[in-house]
A and B are shown apart, each in its own frame.
Chain A
Amino acid sequence: MTDQLPDLEIYIMKANPEAVHNWLASLFKVEIIKSAAGHHHYRCNDMDVFLNEGAEKNFASLWFKQNDTTWHTDLELARAAHSALETEIRCSAEGWKEGDENAASDNGWIKLNKGQEKSFEWH
């Protein structure tokens, strides 16, 4: 079983902040702490969640600073977001972990688009 990551982060293509907020609100009790200039800070239950619209080209980052969710990995969060928001989602593969001999050579990223998951190298 995969260990629960202490934080979660995904990248959302052309993120609509209202859609992201509504999705989060369907899952958690959401309070808006700050929302200005493309930066949004939500309190989702007891977690701090940040949406940064201008993270990377057309992608916004969604970062759960603490992970008290049922998602163990970025990929699990990415799948849920892809299903709910119906847009391309990118997430980091797990990176270095014990027993993973290929960690140093994998592509590092996973792209979820139109129901497909593909490993790729970003940039």
Chain B
Amino acid sequence: MSLYSDIYPITTFPDLVPQREHRNSCILRLERLEDAIRSYHGDELHHEWLNDYLDAGLELAQEAGERDLIRLQESWLRRIYNTLRDTGVNVSCGEAWRHQCLEYLYQPFFALQHLYRAQPGSNSRIKALSRDFSFISRYVI
């Protein structure tokens, strides 16, 4: 008899299916917006792209955090931080668009900082992140 057969009954989790579908659609939305943000070379500012992108990324991070998937949570936050940061310093993009991306950078920055502050022994991560953010703020904005 398996150790788990008594305490871990074989079952399905239908309530998790809509949750998973929602997550997958959120990931798809994030990926499409990410491509659009990174490759945009126009002059018109699309605040709605950045707002939707942040909503999707922060939601995925929050959902991972609620399930105690700490590294995944960090990974989503770093991903949106990196996208905004990389676009913000990409000289092939329009100056106004770059500036706009960097103005949104504080949101994933604060979310990452909050995450690291909740983790014991993460001082070096907070310092490195803060230094990067400070450098970008001084250098570009």
Q: Which residues of chain A have a CB within 8 Å of any CB of chain B?
A: 3-7, 9, 11, 17-18, 21, 32, 35-38, 40, 50, 52, 54-56, 61, 63, 74, 91-92, 95-100, 103-105, 108-109, 122-123
Contacts and interface: CB of A to CB of B under 8 A. Distances in A.
Contacts of B78: 95-96, 104, 108
B108 to A, nearest CB: 11
Summarize B's interface: helix, strand, loop or mixed: helix
B69 A52 contact: yes
A50 B82 CA distance: 30
B110 to A, nearest CB: 14
Interface stretch (B35-43, B47-55, B93-101, B117-125): B117-125
A16 to B, nearest CB: 9
A3 B124 contact: yes
Output the residue of B8, B67, B85 with the most chain A CB within 10 A: B8
Contacts, number: 91
Contacts of A122: 72, 75
Nearest to B30: A123
Given A18-B3, A37-B13, A61-B68, A105 B75 contact: no
B72 A56 contact: yes
B11 to A, nearest CB: 7
Contacts of A40: 8
Interface in B108-136: 112, 116, 119-122, 124-129, 132
